[in-house]
Amino acid sequence: MPEILKSSQRLLNSIPATFLLTDVHSQILYANRRAESFFGYAPGEMEGKRLRILFLEEDHIYFLPNIIFLTRYKKGFDGEALLRQKGGKKIFVQLFTSAFKERGEVFLSFSFQEIQRLKKVEREKLEAERWAGLGRMMGEIAHQFRNPIASIGGYSQRLLKIAPSSLQSQSYVNQILKETGRLETILQRVEEYVRIPRPVYKRENIQEAVEAVLRNFAKETKEQGIVIHLNTDEFAGNGQLFFDRDLMASILAHILQNSLWAITLNPKRKKKEFIEVALWDDGENIEVSVSDRGQGIPLKNLNLIFDPFFSTCPDRVGLGLTFVRRAVEEQGGKIRVKSRPGRGTKVILHFPKDRRRKIRREWISPEVMGRENY
């Protein structure tokens, strides 16, 4: 084993990438753990073999020699390559190569990344940029539409006052006012969604925050003959959570509004109906659930309820749950929905009380304690 490997093997093995080191004749001197698992060879099995074992047979004539030449005499190779694993399975990779001299010897280094993983990262980046651009565009569209909609509504109100009071003309104008009101609601929901602020976290009591929302919502439910019940039987912890209180209030308001709507549309509605809001705290996690006995959601629609503008009711915009999921995930939480047609729906919000990884929030071993000077 060359001296460079004897002195640096531990360092080379810690490289967070698939990595090979060869001599100038492409004989493999070292393969790190990732390389062995990446290509399917047992530990040490690649060492001593030529790099050609990783290349397709048709590439032994031109492609591989060109890569070796570029690596040894030029600035290296950076490009895509179709290689093969031990069992013959082909794998598409991004290959980076370079050469360096150590104690008079020239070595060639090869690092590999699977294209699919790179493509996934690239897609996620493009998706984030696309949503950011879409948000700016939708915000500008909402701004441009608001003034014309306000004008239409204003002139319609005037027409009601000055136009002949025929039932037909009043019906037309009232329909215009209804539709302009719906357009205004759509714009408000779109702006609310695209302008979700980055959460401002504060350590607060989740029960107090939920109770404040329920107090604000109580008048509307009372008018509908519906009672909201807060269940804290499983609320064993201290209820402290880092969250954005205003954003949480918006989340709960949307869910409660959906429950209220589902109950009023249920043909089997009873005279006394209620919405149950339950809190659960096991010391590590907090859950907030909202349950109703409304009309429920058909199974075929459960996978669609978070999609923008999906709604089974023509009078609703279909952005409420889209907003809720995004706002929950912005705060590190998850959302689940359980529902049965005619039986009701339960929406569950799950939040870890401490989002830091275990390695950042507690000793991983008793041996670490008292060694803060690392």
Tens digit of pLDDT for each residue in 53-110?
A: 999 998 888 899 899 999 998 899 998 888 999 999 998 888 999 999 888 889 999 9
Radius of gyration of the chain (CA): 31
For the chain, how many structural domains are there in total?
A: 3
Whether pLDDT at 233 is above 80: yes
> Are 211 and 350 within one domain?
yes
In the listed set 194, 220, 237, which residue is the last one of a domain according to the structure? Answer: 194
> Are 94 and 125 within one domain?
no
The pair of three-digit structure tokens given for residue 242, joined into one six-digit string: 């880092």
Instruction: Determine if the pTM surpasses 0.85.
Output: no
The string of pLDDT tens digits covering residues 288-303 is: 999 999 888 888 888 8
In the listed set 100, 115, 130, which residue is the last one of a domain according to the structure? Answer: 115
In the listed set 194, 210, 239, which residue is the last one of a domain according to the structure? Answer: 194
Q: How far is CA 288 from CA 185, 210, 368, in A?
A: 27, 9, 36
> Are 86 and 234 within one domain?
no
The string of pLDDT tens digits covering residues 325-334 is: 888 988 889 9
Domain CATH code at residue 270: 3.30.565.10
Please, which residues have CB within 8 angstroms of residue 195's CB and are 6 or more apart in sequence?
135, 139
Domain CATH code at residue 101: 3.30.450.20
Residues in the chain: 374
> Are 173 and 239 within one domain?
no
Domain CATH code at residue 149: 1.10.287
DSSP 54: G
Residue 64 domain boundaries: 3-115
What is the reported pLDDT for 222?
Answer: 81
> Are 125 and 62 within one domain?
no
Q: Is residue 370 part of a domain?
A: no
Q: Is residue 277 part of a domain?
A: yes
Ranges 9-18, 137-146, 162-171, 247-256, most confident: 247-256
The pair of three-digit structure tokens given for residue 225, joined into one six-digit string: 């003959």
SS3 call for 374: coil
What is the reported pLDDT for 372?
Answer: 46
Q: Is residue 374 part of a domain?
A: no
The pair of three-digit structure tokens given for residue 302, joined into one six-digit string: 């459960």
> Are 99 and 54 within one domain?
yes
What is the reported pLDDT for 157?
Answer: 79
